[in-house]
Amino acid sequence: MKPITRTVWILSLVSLFTDMASEILYPIMPIYLKSIGFSILLIGILEGLVEAVAGLSKGYFGQLSDSKVKRAPFVQLGYSLSAISKPMMAFFVYPLWIFFARTTDRLGKGIRTGARDAMLSAETNKTNKGKVFGFHRSMDTFGAVLGPALALVYLYFYPEDYINLFYIAFIPGVLAVVASFLLKDKKIETTSQKKKINFFSFIKYWKQSSAEYRKVVRGLLFFALFNSSDVFLLLKAKDAGLDDTWVIGIYIFYNLIYALTAYPLGSFADKIGLKKMFLFGLIIFSLVYFGMGLTTNLYTIIALFFGYGIYAAATEGISKAWITNICKDENTATAVGTYTAFQSILAMAASVMAGLLWFYFGANVTFFITAIATIFVVFYFLQLKLSA
């Protein structure tokens, strides 16, 4: 089987354009919301609620995709909603409208995630899964390099012209949607009977899934409970003396390292095993967080962001490839959707917990606790006998 097929290329380009559209707005979203009257508290509530919607919807729409035995329509609808949400943010400034626009964007992600990853998995076998998922993550993350870079250049020439950035972000969003309509569903053989699906019925999959799936996902979710937002790493960089422009620059640098290494690390994972590569990533993550807790040196922090890019490349695509290896083909979207649903909720909890630890005990304690918890996850996986 040719590893990077036409479908993999299309899905990867769609993700690149979509991430580019989203990341154009990443540097200015909090600034824009504050400029139209949002308090920090309201921004926090807004982002928490929309992420909860996205998280839970991943499980539901993943299972719905398996039930309908369809992938492409979910991918197309999901990317379309994310695209149209960009200009919606610029039309009105009322909180309810902003909430609706942000929910539309994150709901789009919830609709497409399980179906997209199932479609990627269908283009692989167990000998090249890391390579394919790594390639997709690499292309996706290049969007996270191009988007903020474009935003920085635009704001350099047109300071505080936030509204037009929302319209500019619509352009790669439209390109993503157009590309998504080149996708075609493969015929999927299924022996399962179609069941009535409600919003939380994906939770039942946990009991029906294999013991290996539950063991792997338990470890992944425990890690998610301590893996807080990248914002805390960026705050550390700012505390070390970087101004806002350089903080965005170091975020671009991290994504560039991630994009450049995701494909080769995915290919290497196929040779040594997905579990080994994932554990390598966790060890790097733990070292990065220990380092963040120990240093205030600017150059050391930049080096740690290099390591953080390696960690992301070694884990984010690999974890999904691993999950698709240990579930039935007919349940792929449900398996990925269930995991990512719980992961999204726990990631929110992780950020809240990190914020409280930072507020009451300082940055160093926050980073040390995360690093130590990650070491426990490494030992958990080391003592498990798994096939991947």
Q: Torsion angle, CA of 298/299/300/305, rounded to 10 degrees?
A: 90
The residue that leads in pLDDT, 42 or 338, is 338
The structure tokens listed for 269 are: 């994972």
Rg of the chain taking only CA atoms, in angstroms: 20
Q: What does the pLDDT read at residue 172? A: 96
Average pLDDT of the chain is 89
Closest Cα to residue 124, out of 312, 317, 340, 335? Answer: 317
Q: What does the pLDDT read at residue 122? A: 93
- Summarize the confidence of residues 162-177 as an average pLDDT: 93
Whole-number Cα distances in Å, 360 to 20, 240, 308, 354, 363: 36, 20, 25, 10, 9
pLDDT at residue 18 greater than cutoff 60: yes
Give the helix/strand (H/E) hosting 348: helix 332-361
Query: CB-based contacts of 356: which residues, under 8 Å, 6+ apart?
Result: none
- How would residue 92 be classed by pLDDT, with cut points 50, 70 and 90? confident
Cα gap 329→342, rounded to integer Å: 21
Condensed to tens digits (0 to 9), the pLDDT of residues 20-62 reads 999 898 767 777 777 777 775 677 677 777 777 778 899 999 9
- Summarize the confidence of residues 72-82 as an average pLDDT: 96
Q: What does the pLDDT read at residue 152? A: 87
Q: What does the pLDDT read at residue 44? A: 64
Q: Would you tell me how many other CB atoms lie within 10 Å of the CB of residue 39? A: 10
Cα gap 221→106, rounded to integer Å: 21
Closest Cα to residue 332, out of 197, 196, 202? Answer: 202
Closest Cα to residue 278, out of 133, 127, 165? Answer: 133
In the chain, what are the domain boundaries? 9-181+206-382
The structure tokens listed for 328 are: 């039935």
The residue that leads in pLDDT, 46 or 145, is 145
Q: Are the beta carbons of 348 and 51 closer than 8 angstroms?
A: yes
State CA 205 to chain mean position distance.
22
The structure tokens listed for 234 are: 């960026």
Condensed to tens digits (0 to 9), the pLDDT of residues 236-272 reads 888 888 887 888 889 999 999 999 999 999 999 999 9
Q: What does the pLDDT read at residue 386? A: 65
State the pTM of this model: 0.90
- How would residue 385 be classed by pLDDT, with cut points 50, 70 and 90? confident
The structure tokens listed for 160 are: 């505080």
- How would residue 228 be classed by pLDDT, with cut points 50, 70 and 90? confident
Cα gap 314→281, rounded to integer Å: 5
Whether domain 9-181+206-382 has CATH 1.20.1250.20: the reply is yes
Q: What does the pLDDT read at residue 195? A: 65
